[in-house]
Structure 1
């Protein structure tokens, strides 16, 4: 999926060094830009990689330098093979964002209408590389492709996309690619292979207590030092906390009490506190939702099917889901899938050492739910 123009961006005054470095690289103004057409933004979970990429994408779009952007959603996309959609989505955005590419890409589609169903390599060649040859080099600087969430793809898909992009930037210096990864992700290992030598560099970001302090102060407007200290500079902690405290289901008096109380000492502690605030009447339903979200074959079920499996009305399920708005994404329609805001929360709920009583999951549960769903489809 392309970036959402309404997606969160960096809080004003935060991540200045990282944003400056990425803009310099994208513009070709830093010493390594000439030989590094691929930049891998690396950082630990919760360090704000996605938000930095959102900010970069918006800035490049405003400057007319964004070729295209893509966020891999994994199973939440409802698409079993997002990789197959990657290059045609980028081509569509290039046609929209770059006036000089609109006509060449349109001609390519008219000549080969079936190209949208072709392999990734053919799509890249016919929808992007061939049309881009009609765009003069040096016409406004390099075009940047922004990629997030590539770790949600299979290893084979990651390798194919990255190798194709590597070959593309070697043969056509018009394009640059920036993507975000955790240290140790498969994509990081792939980009460290000899075939990427000379065309790829990394930029590491860490956690920033100063930036988190500025973010919390701007969002909460209260005495936030204990909360900032508890975050350890983790933006995920800070953003989850803000969403939790701003939730209309969370009473204002309780919000103030939490701000005055000793802060949670880790992101896991914050998750426990969020789950512990679920009202007793809603707890069974919400834990059932977490069970479903912990099992891969079930993570893309529409909300209405989740409600059916849990034997509740979709409207009631939507109401109780608001209690977990800080960690879950609630779809606009009942045909959309419930999402998990961050991979770390999914990892938390399936690890009994971290989540304790809130741990969920299990293959027996998955089997029962799949059988129930099959029965529901056969007996509407």
Structure 2
């Protein structure tokens, strides 16, 4: 996804028949003639559907998510089994499965895993993975049209009627789902709904799917993930208990979570040992793994960050693990394990043993380059970031070199650089 233009205000409601995109009115004929309006983030094909504006990085298998992990085998067994049982349970009339959890507990990985399994079996209607500040996936302006495009990829669908429904949308119509007759069961996966930047749009999306439960031709299933408190904050009337089944990851047994995080560490340590080539098969040992699992608590993001840090340079994996395990007394106040890990990544980007002049330059580069990536609401490409901070592109590349355990740094310098997780 290339940089998107700034949007003005919240004038991008998903149910607005006169759709807007990036703050501009989208005028044009999308039916008999091909769309002739603004072309940003539009397809380039020869059909009206190809010209429908959409969020190109919204789907679970979008290009910028190709390396995002799925649940490892024999992990999250209970959670995945409960969701699968609900999907195929014809007696359970609740159309929404609401998965809650703190940041870093693995909600998105679970959502991707479910979406992948549904996709591979031909039972996924559509997916939309929100990301705060992520351009077109940070708001819901293109939610309906993006879902419509994905539905249209399935056989036995009336594309023309779905297309018209997605453009002439209103709160009382659910024809986009009624005419998406893919099979008797239509499944949607919506990740990080709470990261949509307009609370009214979140409510509209939920109301859309609760209203769609009245459709008798399709058995609807919607998996939604959010952080804790989202549902109560929006109001119980948005998705009453009669419409939703709820699972809170933070309430899973500690033994189950610890077992899954241990399996994650052990699987990644096998890969580290294989790439290193000289580490003993017992490395790093059960006691070390026990300590790492204890530090992780319920946060899979801690385990993932540690493993990415070790694999940034496999030759130094042993030394880097020592850095991870070290208790640093220099901190003014106690830090959580994940904050401690982030601090060590930042410290590693500025080695202690380098020349003083080099150290000063690295300090300056990290300060100038990393701060904008973290604080900007709209992520920028590497090229745009270099222009913004007025630093040579090769210096920006150098500042990001040792930050790949916490930042997504694409090879294509026209694609956005972003934190791998909102907790950074």
TM bucket (normalised to shorter chain) is 0.7 to 0.9
Give the CA deviation at 1:65: 1.5
Match of 1:60 in 2: 118
State whether structure 2 residue 147 is matched by structure 1 residue 147.
Answer: no
Counterpart secondary structure, 1:84: coil
CA contact (8 A) 2:400 2:409 kept: yes
State whether structure 2 residue 179 is matched by structure 1 residue 131.
Answer: yes
State whether structure 2 residue 106 is matched by structure 1 residue 48.
Answer: yes
Match of 1:273 in 2: 344
CA contact (8 A) 1:314 1:334 kept: no
State whether structure 2 residue 78 is matched by structure 1 residue 9.
Answer: no
State whether structure 2 residue 82 is matched by structure 1 residue 21.
Answer: yes
Matches within 5 A, 1:314-353: 314-345=393-424
Residue deviations 1:273-313 (CA, integer Å, cap 9, x gap): 1111112343322222332134345x333321211232222
Residue deviations 1:139-194 (CA, integer Å, cap 9, x gap): 4x422100012112121211111111211123355221111111112x45436327
CA contact (8 A) 2:369 2:399 kept: no
CA contact (8 A) 1:84 1:119 kept: no
Counterpart secondary structure, 2:133: helix
Give the CA deviation at 1:256: 4.6
Match of 2:259 in 1: 210
What are the ranges of 5 or more consecutive residues in structure 2 without an aligned counterpart? 1-57, 271-283, 329-334, 351-358
> Is the alpha carbon distance of 1:201 and 1:342 closer, same or farther for their aligned partners in structure 2, counting shifts above 3 Å?
same
Matches within 5 A, 1:173-212: 173-185=218-230, 187-190=231-234, 192-193=236-237, 196-206=240-250, 208-212=257-261
Give the CA deviation at 1:211: 0.8
Residue deviations 1:234-255 (CA, integer Å, cap 9, x gap): 2111011111111139834522
> Is the alpha carbon distance of 1:276 and 1:121 closer, same or farther for their aligned partners in structure 2, counting shifts above 3 Å?
same
Give the CA deviation at 1:195: 5.6
TM-score (norm 1): 0.77
> Is the alpha carbon distance of 1:196 and 1:250 closer, same or farther for their aligned partners in structure 2, counting shifts above 3 Å?
farther
Inter-partner Cα distance in structure 2 for 1:304 and 1:120: 40
Match of 2:144 in 1: 87
Give the CA deviation at 1:38: 0.5
State whether structure 2 residue 156 is matched by structure 1 residue 100.
Answer: yes
Counterpart secondary structure, 2:102: coil
Inter-partner Cα distance in structure 1 for 2:401 and 2:112: 25
CA contact (8 A) 2:87 2:221 kept: yes
- Alignment equivalent of 1:309, drawn from 368, 374, 388: 388
CA contact (8 A) 1:249 1:322 kept: no
Give the CA deviation at 1:46: 1.5
- Alignment equivalent of 1:74, drawn from 129, 132, 139: 132
Inter-partner Cα distance in structure 1 for 2:316 and 2:324: 13
- Alignment equivalent of 1:231, drawn from 275, 296, 301: 296
Structure ranking higher in helix proportion: 1
> Is the alpha carbon distance of 1:250 and 1:189 closer, same or farther for their aligned partners in structure 2, counting shifts above 3 Å?
farther
CA contact (8 A) 1:71 1:147 kept: yes
Moved more, 203-212 or 189-198: 189-198
Inter-partner Cα distance in structure 2 for 1:259 and 1:81: 33
State whether structure 2 residue 311 is matched by structure 1 residue 255.
Answer: no
Inter-partner Cα distance in structure 2 for 1:82 and 1:197: 26
Inter-partner Cα distance in structure 2 for 1:320 and 1:120: 48
